[in-house]
Amino acid sequence: NLPETINEFFSKELIDLTGQANTADIDFSRFYDGYTSLLIKNETGTNQKTLFAVVDLNNEKFRHLKEREVGITLRLSSDVDNLEGSVIMEVIENGNIVSYSNQKMTLSSISWKLNLTSLQLSNADRIEMYFEYGSAASVWIDGIEIDILK
């Protein structure tokens, strides 16, 4: 069994600090590795941007990523086929977005789709990760990893 990876990126405390209304929840029903994943629900079908992870770059564990280019990988799945949405990454420094990535994806109900985002981090404070979509459906996110690219 692969180790649980999402606990490092899903801290209720950090997520609450962002003040975002739409946030993911821990879920045990479907997972890529470990025994849990992050679940986003869109019950209305209107466009919704949901925060699912925060990386605190001032934390001892992630401080070495500052001033580097990093690659963030994650896996996504849905309960409907051909769900279209966007993985959005916002790099925050002193309360401002200093770097931004928005990647469109089409998700599947029968497999986990891989997303890879590269970001230049500068002296940022945190990375906020969002998934945005406009369908009445659930999305699971798991297998979050960050690696230094150069």
Which helix (H) or strand (E) element contains residue 105? strand 96-107
Pairing of strands 69-78, 113-120: antiparallel
Helix, strand, coil shares of the chain as percentages rounded to 5?
A: 10, 55, 40
Of how many residues is the chain composed?
150
Query: What mean pLDDT do residues 97-108 have?
Result: 97
pTM assigned to the model: 0.94
Identify which of 57, 54, 68 has the alpha carbon closest to the alpha carbon of residue 24.
54
- H or E, element range at 106: strand 96-107
The owner of tokens 């699971």 is 140
Please measure the distance between the N-terminal and C-terminal CA atoms of the chain and give it in whole angstroms. 30
Where residue 1 falls among pLDDT bands split at 50, 70, 90? Answer: very low
Question: Residue 17: how many CB atoms within 10 A of its CB?
Answer: 12
Q: List 39's β-bridge partners, or say none.
A: 25, 140
pLDDT band, very low/low/confident/very high, at 7 (cuts 50, 70, 90): confident
Question: Tell me, which fold does domain 6-148 have in CATH?
Answer: Jelly Rolls (2.60.120)
> In whole angstroms, what is the distance from residue 27 CA to residue 143 CA?
13
* Domain segments of the chain as ranges: 6-148
